[in-house]
Amino acid sequence: MKGRLPVGYVVRIEGSDITLNLLDMHRGQLASHAQGVSSVTEVGSLLVLDAGSRALIMKVVSLSFDEPREAHRLGIGSSTHQTEPLRNISGAVVGRLSRVEGKPRFTSDSLATPPLGAEAFPLSTEELAAILCSDDEEDIPLKLGDDLRGGGSLNVGLKNLISRHVAVLGSSGQGKSCFTAAVLQQIVKLPRARIVVFDINGEYEAALNVPELPDGAVKCTTIGGGPSRFKIPYYALGRHGLNRLLIPSEKTQRPALTFALEHLHQVRWFPQQKGAGLVNDTVPFLFDDCRQGGAAEADRRIQQLRNGQADAATVWPHMAALASLVAESHGIQPSPRNGVERNAFSYSNISPLITRINRFAEDPMFRSVVDVDGGAGTGTPLNWAHESTNLVEEVFGGQDVPWRVHILNLRHLSHDLTPFILGSLLELYAYELFRRGQENKIPTLLVLEEAHHYLRPIGSGENAGENSLAYERLAKEGRKFGLALWLSTQRPSEISPTVLSQCNNWVSFRLTSEKDLAAIQSASEWADRREIRRIAGLPRQTAVVFGGSIAMPTLVRAAEACPTPHSGDADFSGWATRRSEAPPPAPLPAAPPRPWNESPPELLYDGDVPF
């Protein structure tokens, strides 16, 4: 502690709580010493306690005035004015400092206690940096921000940070997207980086196209929104993805849907009659409306499918063919009079599933991002596994990819469809990930923006638990298969608690909802009650960083991205500008001249007023 004067000494130890008497000579917030200036009497600041053979680090929790105690040493802690109370500092030990090869090294330890009378000293800049920075020289350091205590940058190793999942939390406009972009801009410079971003609002493409990257390092795929955009083929979602999309009940609907999925590649669709038939049929015999006529012909074709006597098709049918197969496989029942009939009671058990299939197939918002028309697929014969693997490699990449980051622009995806479509995509990815096995794992960072839209249960009761299986398995077991999750959300209380509990590192910007703060408290073993209470009062661009890779909870000014994502506030200052002062709008292109023999366009009238 050379070159430093003590600022106080220990007068009470009660469990993990330690109380210091502040020396009369020190009454300010800062202490100057040979190594610089350190904060002392500020909540969250750090002090080092000289405990003989050990140097313990204490974090300041509270400040108070107190009457003089018998415990302070003669002439050191006594006040010159007996009416003036002593200043007390309360805190807790968070670790210890040691020197290895002349450099300070911090070890987290909350069980050690100092002796009574141990003197407290301010920390030097070198010691603060040792507490904040990763000490793994083989790991790649990432800057998360600047420590507000004056200890320099908070640096964490890449492997330590993302290997056990990261949660970035905060209300809208507090800096989540800018912070995420700042960290990704550091990772994407690594030659073998592989990042997949679910960009819900379409804001990351410009932010990750940093100048020093080679051509092709950033790939952006816009899903839906136009004929030239990429659409997800419905059949490529596979059995696992479509089960997640359609959410069948266990007793009756799931067996019927399983039959339909197993035999979908053996039927063709007739768009005019809105029915399905076998490959060699010239007219449809399978329908989804429980009509009374033609039950025997429909049953004959269902039996051909069950017995393996139907030929395989060369193209995938329209998605509505699923509804016909579901209806006929479960709705046709034996009849004492006619042999077989379409039974209305049996049909009623599966009618909700049929309605969901048709609702998706007819919904223009769904059709804008998912191709429901069918098609040739990736090869012949048609195969679910090949289609699913092809989609996973299209989105998440195979063994070798030319890009470092793949941004999925999902701004054309309606929010009410987000949990269904992205949930299906994650279900499919989970299946492919576990199918590859640990011996074929591909290290991938999956960034899930606005995760509360789709990492949440759908339904209630047991069904909700079943529907959340995919992303919970990804969170719990994905690490073993090379997957790292980066979750960004405004509402942690709306995300599955299982997913949150698997996050090892947390970056929390301002949150004011009691439910959200309680979700952090219950999900994180690293969350201290006192730190959680401070989250509600954080200023913009300021975050509390804590977790298994952080030596201790740290208040930082978040790293800034350059360029920034398109998530800034609107400029409402222009409202104060007079219209005459604003620049004139760009002129519209002139209409082409109308041929002399073409009549003028008709006016539309609403009553007597044209519009």
pLDDT of res. 10: 92
Q: What is the mean pLDDT of the chain?
A: 84
DSSP string, 24-56: TT--SSEEEETTEEEE-SSTT-EEEEEETTEEE
pLDDT confidence band for 134 (50 / 70 / 90)? low
Task: Using the predicted structure, report yes or no on whether residue 543 has a pLDDT greater than 90.
Answer: yes
pLDDT confidence band for 109 (50 / 70 / 90)? confident
Task: Using the predicted structure, report yes or no on whether residue 609 has a pLDDT greater than 80.
Answer: no
pLDDT of res. 74: 46
Instruction: Spell out the alpha helix ranges (H) of 446-496.
Output: 461-467, 469-477
Which of 121-135, 286-300, 487-501 is predicted least confidently?
121-135
pLDDT of res. 369: 92
Which residue matches tokens 């000293």? 121
Contact in structure between 121 and 1 (CB atoms under 8 Å): yes
Q: Pick 498 or 167 by higher pLDDT.
A: 167
Percent of the chain with pLDDT over 70: 85
- For the residues 49-62, what does the mean pLDDT come to? 86
* Highest mean pLDDT: which range of 6-10, 362-366, 527-531: 362-366
Task: Using the predicted structure, report yes or no on whether residue 468 has a pLDDT greater than 70.
Answer: no
pLDDT of res. 60: 86
Q: What is the rounded distance in angstroms from the CA atom of residue 558 to the CA atom of residue 252?
A: 52
Task: Using the predicted structure, report yes or no on whether residue 300 has a pLDDT greater than 90.
Answer: yes
Which of 123-137, 319-333, 366-380, 395-409 is predicted least confidently?
123-137
In the chain, what are the domains? 8-132 (no CATH), 158-229+383-503 (3.40.50.300), 248-371 (no CATH)
pLDDT of res. 255: 93
pLDDT confidence band for 577 (50 / 70 / 90)? confident
Task: Using the predicted structure, report yes or no on whether residue 256 has a pLDDT greater than 90.
Answer: yes
CA nearest to 263, candidates 250, 275, 277, 247: 277
Task: Using the predicted structure, report yes or no on whether residue 376 has a pLDDT greater than 70.
Answer: yes
Is cis: bond before 563, omega within 30 of 0? yes
Q: What is the rounded distance in angstroms from the CA atom of residue 76 to the CA atom of residue 509?
A: 42
pLDDT confidence band for 302 (50 / 70 / 90)? very high
Percent of the chain with pLDDT over 90: 38
Q: What is the rounded distance in angstroms from the CA atom of residue 276 to the CA atom of residue 317?
A: 9
Element of type H or E holding 301: helix 295-306
pLDDT confidence band for 610 (50 / 70 / 90)? very low
Query: Residue 134, Cα to own-chain centre: how many angstroms?
Result: 25
pLDDT confidence band for 532 (50 / 70 / 90)? confident
Residue 356 tokens, joined: 């969901």
Task: Using the predicted structure, report yes or no on whether residue 456 has a pLDDT greater than 70.
Answer: yes
Task: Using the predicted structure, report yes or no on whether residue 553 has a pLDDT greater than 90.
Answer: no
Q: What is the rounded distance in angstroms from the CA atom of residue 507 to the CA atom of residue 549?
A: 12
Which of 21-35, 412-426, 495-509 is predicted least confidently?
21-35
Kind of pairing between the strands at 119-122 and 46-51: antiparallel
pLDDT of res. 363: 93
Task: Using the predicted structure, report yes or no on whether residue 462 has a pLDDT greater than 60.
Answer: no
pLDDT of res. 243: 86
- For the residues 388-401, what does the mean pLDDT come to? 90
Q: What is the pLDDT of residues 191-209, one digit of tens each?
A: 999 999 999 988 998 899 8
pLDDT of res. 73: 45
Q: Pick 601 or 240 by higher pLDDT.
A: 240
Which of 120-134, 198-212, 319-333, 531-545 is predicted least confidently?
120-134
Residue 289 tokens, joined: 């409306």
Q: What is the pLDDT of residues 319-374, one digit of tens each?
A: 999 999 999 999 999 988 778 999 999 999 999 999 999 999 999 999 999 999 99
Backbone angles phi, psi at 9, to 5 degrees: -150, 155
Q: Pick 101 or 234 by higher pLDDT.
A: 234
Contact in structure between 549 and 167 (CB atoms under 8 Å): no
Query: Residue 187, Cα to own-chain centre: how many angstroms?
Result: 17
pLDDT of res. 353: 95
Count the Cβ atoms, other than its own, within 10 Å of residue 118: 21
Q: What is the rounded distance in angstroms from the CA atom of residue 576 to the CA atom of residue 517?
A: 38
Task: Using the predicted structure, report yes or no on whether residue 87 has a pLDDT greater than 60.
Answer: yes
Give bridge partners of residue 508 from the DSSP assignment: 169, 544
pLDDT of res. 490: 93
